[in-house]
Amino acid sequence: MPLLKSLKNTFTNLLLVLFSILVCFLLLEAGFRLAGYQPIYQTYSKSSMLWQYDPLLGWSHIPDSEGEYIGPRPWPVEYDTKIQINSEGLRGPEITKKNGLRILVLGDSITAGFEVPFKDTYSAQLQLLLNKKLDTPVQVINAGVRGYGTDQSFLYYKEKGKNLQADLVLFQHVSNDPLNNITLHRMRRPFGKPAFQLKPKEYGGELNLTAYPTPRYPICSEFRLDQDFHVKRLDTALNRTLCQIQVNLTDYSAFFTYITMLIRQHPDMLKKLYFAASPKAAQASSATISKAEQNKTPGKSGSAHKASIGDLLTTSIINKLDKTVKNNKARFALLLSDDFQPEQVNKKWLQEKDVRIIATTSIFPDRVFAPPYSFKNDSHWTKKGHRAYAEKIAPKVLSLLSEMGYH
């Protein structure tokens, strides 16, 4: 009996402590709201703004939607851009009837360019530059979507993009593509995506789509392909708990906003706290293939690095995208920059497969993503960054168009 009474008292005291903490938090929350603070996403935009669930692509833009894209969270606001999504679910104005040359640009957040007005994105700037040089009217359509990997861009073109009747398709590779291509769901994202399994594990192997239609993943979960292209869940109970706390505080707490504003003076600490909920096992997803497997991989002699599973998959998807575009009686070109770690893509093997590569080097001074080409607290490009990129690729795009008979 004394033991039972002691446990009861301990439990009661614990409940009192928890209740006291809750009351203190609610008082702090009320105080900070009265002081003018609000939950962080009432000031900033979520990266998933204007997304909808898509069974094939994972997510896509909501057609005929609009909103203000404000960020970067949690830093002082550097951009506040009005975003318009047309009836095709693409950023920009409505697509008019084809009259002349049409170019379709595929890519992720760099291509979508939510941080700048549409007219300042590199695709819109490219259209201006090409129209100044060619007698034929040129229309450049921006099909970039935030967070997309090579696989989603390929699936979009195969399902919908081909119907836009583009004469030339450009795909911009960026450094996080290999990781995105082996990721089915990332912590805190509202939607997951399918992924391609590469069999056999070499360039040009068969691509088999898995996790399609896209499942509804728990927001606090992490699913990726392992080195054998099997789907693995990487998060732990601790990851899920920390993630749920972060998600709820971010969405509902003004006090948390105040704490975040204090911590942002220490970027390293802020980064560690944000990724505390992410599974450590996720870092192993970029592990390289074994030396024996590497020796079996055709075309590998042209690369100076060990190919990761993501690299192999990315190169294979680009090759498949190229073939699909050509089967649709259009031309394809891969936009590949030294600033985006081109060693992730086996250029020699792709060129042997007759894939056109538009390689750009030193787009920005010293290949550094920094002001004035990108925002101070965000690696995405400013107006000047987009313009510099458009000016860099325009001459090479013109050369390709000349080969196609446009002058």
Q: What is the mean pLDDT of the chain?
A: 89
Q: Which pTM does this prediction carry?
A: 0.90
Placement of tokens 């996720």 in the chain:
282
Q: What per-residue confidence (pLDDT) applies to 289?
A: 42
Q: What per-residue confidence (pLDDT) applies to 293?
A: 43
Task: Tell me the β-bridge partners of 223.
Answer: 185, 233
In this prediction, residues 334-358 reach a mean pLDDT of 90
Strand 101-106 with 168-172, pairing: parallel
Q: What per-residue confidence (pLDDT) applies to 355?
A: 98
Domains and CATH numbers, the chain: 51-234+281-403 (3.40.50.1110)
Q: What per-residue confidence (pLDDT) applies to 3?
A: 66
Four-point Cα dihedral 311, 234, 59, 181, nearest 10: 10
Of 229-238, 241-250, 259-268, the poorest mean pLDDT is in 259-268
Q: What per-residue confidence (pLDDT) applies to 59?
A: 98
Give the CA distances from residue 357 to residues 28, 204, 335, 396, in Å, rounded to whole numbers and listed in that order.
Answer: 56, 17, 6, 10
Confidence band for 15, pLDDT divided at 50, 70 and 90: confident
CB of 210 closer than 8 Å to CB of 221: no
Q: Cα separation of 304 and 21, whole Å? A: 56
Q: Cα separation of 359 and 344, whole Å? A: 14
Helices (H), 62-170: 109-112, 122-133, 150-159
Q: Cα separation of 171 and 155, whole Å? A: 13
Q: Cα separation of 231 and 234, whole Å? A: 10
pLDDT at 353 over 60: yes
Q: What is the pLDDT of residues 175-198, one digit of tens each?
A: 999 999 999 999 999 999 999 999
In this prediction, residues 163-168 reach a mean pLDDT of 98
Q: What per-residue confidence (pLDDT) applies to 281?
A: 56
Task: Output the CA torsion sign for 167, 119, 92, 144.
Answer: positive
Q: What per-residue confidence (pLDDT) applies to 291?
A: 35
pLDDT at 20 over 80: no
Q: What per-residue confidence (pLDDT) applies to 304?
A: 46
pLDDT at 7 over 70: no
Percentage with pLDDT > 90 across the chain? 71
Q: What per-residue confidence (pLDDT) applies to 63?
A: 98
Q: What is the pLDDT of residues 368-389, one digit of tens each?
A: 678 999 999 999 999 999 999 9
Q: Cα separation of 229 and 403, whole Å? A: 39
Q: What is the pLDDT of residues 48-86, one digit of tens each?
A: 999 999 999 999 999 999 999 999 999 999 999 999 999
User: Which residues make Cβ contacts (< 8 Å) with residue 140, sequence separation at least 6?
Assistant: 103, 105, 123, 124, 126, 127, 130
Q: What is the pLDDT of residues 270-286, one digit of tens each?
A: 777 778 788 875 544 44
